[in-house]
Amino acid sequence: MTGFPRSPRLTRAGLVLIDPESGAVDRIITLQYAAETLQRTIEAQSVADEPDRSQPLRLTGPAIETITFEAEIDATDQLEKPDDFPEAGESGIFPALAAMETMLYPTVAQLERQNRQGASGSFEIAPAETPLSIFVWSRNRIVPVRLTSLSITEEFFDAALNPIRARLSVSLRVLSVDDLGFRHRGGGLFLAYLRSKESLARKFSAGELTTLGIGGLP
């Protein structure tokens, strides 16, 4: 942000990890720099995909949406202020990377509990449940997601070989009511996200057939 007093305050994007039942915030991962591009793929779920092709205009559920973007983490500025950011001098950007990476791992406690269940002969070992991840990219895009893949390129290191700069390639899968159900906290967040889409669509100024070079449909 520039030093001009009237410069707009830049809004950052990020991920909020919450307890799926209580809604308590477990962790907030703020993207240090806004990505220059955000790629989204939206795939319809329709009757046409099923063996019965007699109703091609019907949808069987919410679209499957994936979000991918590039992010950058850089501790250079923090290293210049060791009193304000002591963790940067001690570990570089390892804490920031670990915050993202651990979204893809069960916790040690969960793994140990599963091991005890297996050792005791339990017939059913419950899969580890992770916190609910909420992707926030402006007020118009607050959506439950699952981190599906994370690619990290570490570029520079300090004298102790702590990484101080890295580029991340992040892939997210939007979780809908098909995944979470209507009663799940994340299901409610998805419905709010979809309502926001519908509200924005209503603000779109529709064109006219004449702009397409035709006076009407045949």
Q: What is the pLDDT of residues 72-126, one digit of tens each?
A: 988 877 776 666 567 777 888 999 999 999 999 988 988 888 888 888 877 666 7
- Cα 8 from Cα 2, distance rounded (Å): 9
Residue that is written with structure tokens 């909020």 in the block: 16
Residue 9 pLDDT greater than 60, yes or no: no
Percent of the chain whose predicted confidence (pLDDT) is above 90? 46
The pLDDT of residue 123: 65
Structural domain boundaries in the chain: 14-109+129-201
Sheet containing strand 142-157, edge to edge, reads 25-30, 14-18, 132-136, 142-157, 163-174, 59-74, 38-46
193-211 pLDDT tens trace: 999 999 999 998 888 888 8
Cα angle 70-73-74, degrees, rounded to a multiple of 5 = 140
Q: What is the pTM of this model?
A: 0.82
Residue 212 pLDDT greater than 80, yes or no: yes
83-93 pLDDT tens trace: 656 777 788 89
Kindly indicate the confidence band of residue 189, based on its pLDDT and cuts at 50, 70 and 90.
very high
The pLDDT of residue 53: 61
Phi first, then psi, for residue 66 (nearest 5°) are -120, 145
125-171 pLDDT tens trace: 677 788 999 999 988 899 999 999 999 999 999 889 999 999 999 99
Q: Is there a contact between 16 and 7 (Cβ–Cβ < 8 Å)?
A: no
Kindly indicate the confidence band of residue 35, based on its pLDDT and cuts at 50, 70 and 90.
confident
Kindly indicate the confidence band of residue 218, based on its pLDDT and cuts at 50, 70 and 90.
confident
